[in-house]
């Protein structure tokens, strides 16, 4: 399995590769795109300037540095676009291809058809926004030219194993660290990045310095009752509608309400999902199953994370894969991963897992 790491600045490329990254991915949020559509309509589903390269010149630098180490660079163009955006999108695509990127992450069917109809020869990776639910969906995307599928985060481990084993002749990729979400990416209509529109450059200062990540790391060390309350408060502004405090009720005039399901819904929506839920969820224990199934790449989320955090993530994954190469038992591998997690991040994993055996709702 290859380690796929995020970059948002050229100067971190070489250190990530030395640490063990075998593939890199990134997005560009240019000044012209941002001026016309704002960052909320980012061309790559990361709605903060700090998550992106500033222009295609920076992308060219990233590609040149990575290629000097024989490491491919994948460009994200994985938003959904309106008809009016297509002239600007085509320009983004043209500029991206000129830099020599090795593949594109795509979700929009219109963009897939545009690339196919114009005979553009570049590997296409289907984003989680493409909502792949089964092997039939994979076949559909293969006909449109897809060479890799990025699996959505809502799958359970048995589902992932089954779909990877059935996907013949196409690479499969799975998220493995950071940024958990209870929603299905391709169906989510919540708007993110609105603080950047509201506060402008002021909001970018702490994010570009990674201060928001460090603050959340401090919060997570507090008692959960306190940290959860603070992380769901207005302290962080309008982060996204998914972080609002929802009240869950069941209305039924005839059917009996399943009290167990209602309590589970209340817990998942009202209590457990906050900024801390998406900080550092981890699926590394499941690499044992993923490798047996034939997973091609494992993806680290967090383009806006500090470089120091990205390096910890890459080193943690590399150590885990190196240990896995010695063919340990599954129990020994899980024990190793949990201890390595503690050593890498200086606190226990807390079992905030991306993937469980049967449950697809983990946050």
7 shares a domain with 124: yes
182 shares a domain with 77: yes
Q: What is the pLDDT of residue 226?
A: 74
Burial zone of 256 (CB within 10 Å; 0-12 exposed, 13-18 middle, 19+ buried): exposed
The CATH number of residue 50's host domain is: 3.20.20.70
For residue 43, how many C-alpha atoms fall within 13 Å in the half-sphere facing its CB? 31
Selected residue with higher pLDDT from 184 and 118 = 118
Q: What is the pLDDT of residue 235?
A: 60
138 shares a domain with 170: yes
Last-in-domain residue among 259, 275, 291: 275
Confidence at 363, pLDDT banded by 50, 70, 90: very low
Q: What is the pLDDT of residue 362?
A: 35
Q: What is the pLDDT of residue 139?
A: 92
328 shares a domain with 257: no
Confidence at 284, pLDDT banded by 50, 70, 90: very high
Model's pTM, two decimal places?
0.87
Structure tokens at 31: 């000044």
Q: What is the mean pLDDT of residues 6-21?
A: 97
Q: What is the pLDDT of residue 135?
A: 87
Selected residue with higher pLDDT from 65 and 239 = 65
**Residue 35 is assigned to a structural domain of this protein:** yes
183 shares a domain with 91: yes
CA distance 112 to 149: 14
Confidence at 360, pLDDT banded by 50, 70, 90: very low
100 shares a domain with 7: yes
Selected residue with higher pLDDT from 231 and 300 = 300
Q: What is the pLDDT of residue 277?
A: 60
**Residue 195 is assigned to a structural domain of this protein:** no
Confidence at 257, pLDDT banded by 50, 70, 90: low
286 shares a domain with 268: no
Q: Examine the pLDDT at 264 and tell me if it is beyond 70.
A: no
Q: 240: closest CA among 188, 279, 203, 202?
A: 188
183 phi, psi to nearest 5 deg: -95, 160
pLDDT tens sequence across 216-247? 777 777 776 676 677 666 565 556 666 666 66
237 shares a domain with 145: no
Q: What is the mean pLDDT of residues 68-91?
A: 96
Give the domain range for residue 219.
Answer: 208-275
Q: What is the pLDDT of residue 175?
A: 94
**Residue 357 is assigned to a structural domain of this protein:** no
Q: What is the pLDDT of residue 156?
A: 86
pLDDT tens sequence across 167-195? 888 999 999 998 777 678 888 877 777 77
Q: What is the pLDDT of residue 210?
A: 75
267 shares a domain with 244: yes
Q: Examine the pLDDT at 353 and tell me if it is beyond 90.
A: no
Confidence at 5, pLDDT banded by 50, 70, 90: very high
* Residue 349: Cβ within 10 Å count: 19
176 shares a domain with 79: yes
Structure tokens at 308: 């120091």
With pLDDT > 70 as the criterion, what percentage of the chain qualifies? 82
* Beta-bridge partner residues of 3: 298
For residue 127, how many C-alpha atoms fall within 13 Å in the half-sphere facing its CB? 27
Q: What is the pLDDT of residue 110?
A: 95
Give how many domains the chain has, as a whole number.
2
Share the mean pLDDT of the chain. 85
Q: What is the pLDDT of residue 359?
A: 35
What is the 3-class SS of the chain, one letter each residue?
CEEEEECCCHHHHHHHHHHCCCEEEECECCHHHHHHHCHHHCCCCCCCHHHCECCHHHHHHHHHHHHCCCCCEEEEECCCCCHHHHHHHHHHHHHHHHCCCCEEEECCHHHHHHHHHCCCCCCEEECHHHCCCCHHHHHHHHHCCEEEEEECCCCCHHHHHHHHHHCCCCEEEEEEECCCCCCCHHHCCCCCCHHHHHHCHHHHHHHHCCHHHHHHHHHCCCCHHHHHHHHCCHHHCCCCHHHCCCCCCCCCCCCCCCHHHHHHHHHHHHHCCCHHHHCCCECHHHHHHHHHHCCCEEEECCCCCCHHHHHHHHHHHHHHHHHHCCCCCHHHHHHHHHHHHHHHHCCCCCCCECCCCCCCCCC
CA distance 151 to 142: 14
**Residue 306 is assigned to a structural domain of this protein:** yes
Spatial neighbors of 319 by CB under 8 A, at least 6 apart, are 340
Selected residue with higher pLDDT from 327 and 261 = 327
Q: What is the mean pLDDT of residues 47-55?
A: 90
105 shares a domain with 10: yes
Q: Examine the pLDDT at 144 and tell me if it is beyond 80.
A: yes
**Residue 237 is assigned to a structural domain of this protein:** yes
């Amino acid at each position: 399995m290859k380690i796929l790491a995020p970059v948002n600045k050229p100067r971190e490329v070489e250190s990530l590769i030395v640490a063990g990254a075998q593939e890199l991915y990134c997005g560009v949020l240019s000044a012209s795109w941002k001026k016309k559509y704002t960052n909320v309509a980012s061309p790559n589903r990361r709605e903060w300037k700090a998550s992106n390269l500033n222009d295609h010149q920076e992308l060219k630098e990233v590609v040149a540095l990575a290629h000097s180490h024989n490491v491919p660079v994948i460009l994200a163009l994985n938003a959904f676009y309106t008809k009016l955006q297509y002239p600007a999108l085509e320009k983004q695509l043209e500029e991206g291809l000129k830099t020599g990127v090795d593949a594109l992450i795509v979700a929009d069917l219109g963009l897939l058809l545009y690339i196919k109809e114009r005979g553009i020869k570049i590997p296409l990776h289907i984003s989680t926004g493409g909502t792949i639910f089964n092997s039939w969906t994979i076949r559909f995307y293969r006909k449109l030219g897809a060479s890799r599928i990025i699996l959505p985060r809502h799958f359970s481990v048995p589902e992932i194993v089954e779909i990877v084993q059935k996907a013949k002749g196409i690479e499969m990729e799975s998220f493995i660290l950071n940024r958990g979400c209870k929603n299905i990416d391709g169906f989510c209509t919540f708007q993110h990045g609105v603080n950047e529109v509201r506060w402008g450059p002021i909001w970018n200062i702490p994010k570009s310095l990674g201060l928001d990540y460090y603050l959340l790391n401090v919060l997570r060390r507090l008692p959960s009752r306190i940290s959860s309350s603070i992380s769901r408060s207005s302290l962080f502004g309008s982060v996204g509608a998914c972080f609002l405090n929802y009240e869950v009720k069941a209305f039924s005039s005839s059917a009996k309400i399943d009290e167990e399901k209602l309590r589970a819904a209340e817990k998942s929506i009202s209590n457990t999902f906050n900024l801390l839920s998406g900080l550092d969820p981890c699926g590394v224990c499941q690499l044992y199953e993923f490798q047996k199934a034939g997973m091609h790449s494992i993806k680290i989320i967090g383009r806006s994370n500090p470089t120091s955090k990205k390096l910890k993530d890459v080193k943690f994954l590399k150590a885990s894969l190196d240990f896995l190469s010695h063919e340990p038992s599954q129990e020994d591998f899980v024990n190793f991963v949990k201890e390595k997690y503690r050593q890498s991040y200086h606190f226990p994993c807390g079992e905030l897992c991306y993937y469980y055996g049967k449950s697809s709702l983990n946050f």
